[in-house]
Structure 1
Amino acid sequence: MYLGVDIGSLTTKVVLIAEDKKVIDFKYQRTGPSGKDSALKLIKEILARVGVAEEKVKGTVATGYGRVLFSGREYSEITCQARGVAHLFPGVRTIIDIGGQDSKVIAVGKNGKVLDFAMNDKCAAGTGRFLEVMSQALEVSLEEIGQLAEKSSEAARISSVCTVFAESEVVSKLSQGQSRETVARGICEAVASRTAVLAQKVGVVEPIVFTGGVAKNTGVVKALERKLGISLVVPEDSTITAALGAALLALENS
């Protein structure tokens, strides 16, 4: 058995795989104040759930923001993301990943080799945290933003690139009588626009796989497809691909 641990800024993910590279189990939760504690808790829960003793785990690799705090081998999230996605989609050429506090676009070659990448980790704009703040301004759940956006054919213009100013802009548009649906679509369009700029720096080659928690937002997926003029592939669970890649690297380097 091999473990992949992805300690993200908002969510920690753990994947357990077997020698044949098949996923045995996975679990994730909010990272909280200690990513290491969250990871250890998830590992304990997964091993207990599948009835596997700790000594059966032959290798563990950590990735994500909190990887340096976790004992054992570590790899960058870029490397792990590419490895995990290429395992699920062998023909992938571009990965768009939007997580809690960063977004990245990765150009991928054969066998998940990273050819180039661009990353936004200096600002929350266009990330999961941005959507969380906007959902609070709209007074809806995070999941509802995408659903609301799909109900409108028009998008409010959210021009601020700063999350704090964008929040004020959303509140202002609502107070002016614009519908939540129109504003929600505008929020999704804003995320898509910022991601498209990042993608242009790397170059977009199909097939493109969209990963990260934001890939679960249908409004952002549709907005990004419209912006790029290309269909996106979204994994069954878009949040665990980096952790899967980490587990695969643990196996391959054991």
Structure 2
Amino acid sequence: MYSLGIDIGSTTSKGAILEDGRRIVSTSLRKAGIGTDGPREVVQDLLRASDLDEGQIGVTVATGYGRTLYPGAHYRVSELTCHALGAHFIFPGIRTLIDIGGQDAKAISLDGSGRMSNFQMNDKCAAGTGRFLDVMAGILQLHAGDLAGEAALAESICPISSTCTVFAESEVISHLAQGVNRKDLVAGICESVATRTGSLAKRVGVTPPLAMSGGVALNEGVRGALSRYLEVEILFSPLAQFFGGLGAALYGYQTYNKEN
């Protein structure tokens, strides 16, 4: 049986198809989130890559900010639940997950079966999120994907003390005016995100093994800073952005089998 999970975020849409809840058949990502054609294009990509048609999909689950707006879902499930399931699918035994998305950050505790047992969320401020990194990259005339490479070349870390994105923007501009090395500034920006999200994780309780999900998980600068802040190894998968979609597909498979 094929199950499809679609994760509709604020800035991107991601999806995955699983076969019998075990094998990843296809994945797709589009940099277009809620209110765009991104979700529909992701589903088209998934079907094309797997050589399937819609009639062969047994169950579809939508998650993320846009889950209530997606018309083709049999179930609509919180991204907290789906990211936890997706992380456990990739890393069996994982007990803590940090998910940094475009507009929020979450720290999730998992039980031994991959179910969420507790969480903390920052959804009131852009600090510590992908949006924060995008804004900072723009000030420095970089792409967000360039930040990790710049941070790796830093000779020291220039602290960013402001926790507000607007104030941090002014602080970074001030540092630039004072001649601070751009690479040191980038290292400070990564450290700022790590500190902000790391504090969420400490409030929920950090139990290894720990992993990251979401696009920011691909940023080695943030990942390394977070690992140092929490004093724990962070598991990494190149599929980190697909944890929500994978978890949604797995939820669909498990729920369908229980109900049928």
TM-score class, shorter: over 0.9
1:136 aligns with 2:132: no
What is the rounded CA distance, in whole Å, between the counterparts of 2:68 and 2:57 in structure 1? 20
How many positions carry a matched residue from both structures? 253
- Report how far residue 51 of structure 1 moved: 1.7
Matched, 1:4 2:23: no
> Hey, what does 1:230 align to over in structure 2?
232
- Counterpart CA distance in 1 for 2:124 and 2:203 is 16
Q: Hey, what's the Cα distance between the residues in 2 that align with 1:199 and 1:31?
A: 28
What whole-Å deviation, never above 9, does each CA across 1:19-56 have from its counterpart, x for those lacking one? 25211111011225624x32122112221232212100
Q: Deviations over 1:64-96 (max 9, x none)?
A: 000010122111001001111111111101001
Contact kept, 8 Å, 2:94 with 2:110, in 1: the verdict is: yes
- Map 1:58-69 onto structure 2 (within 5 A): 58-69=58-69
- One-letter amino acid matched to 1:17: L
Can you give the 5+ residue segments of structure 2 that lack an aligned partner in the other structure?
none
Which residue pairs with 1:39 in the alignment?
39
Q: Sequence identity, in percent?
A: 42
* CA RMSD across the alignment: 1.2
Report what 2:99 is aligned to. 97
CA distance in 2, matches of 1:18, 1:108: 24
With over 3 angstroms needed to count, the CA separation of the structure-2 counterparts of 1:32 and 1:107, relative to structure 1, is closer
> 1:11-50 maps to which residues of 2 (within 5 A)?
11-32=12-33, 34-35=35-36, 37-50=37-50
The residue type paired with residue 85 of structure 1 is A
Structure 1: 5+ residue runs without aligned partners?
none
Cα distance, 1:107–1:33 mapped onto 2, change above 3 Å: closer
Aligned to 2:204: 202
Distance 1:20 1:96 in 2: 23
Return structure 1 stretches of 4+ with deviation > 3 angstroms. Answer: none
CA gap of 1:33–1:19, structure 2 versus 1, over 3 A, is: closer
Q: Secondary structure of the equivalent of 2:251? A: helix
Q: Work out the CA distance in 1 between the residues paired with 2:138 and 2:47.
A: 36
Distance in 2, matches of 1:253 and 1:125, equals 36
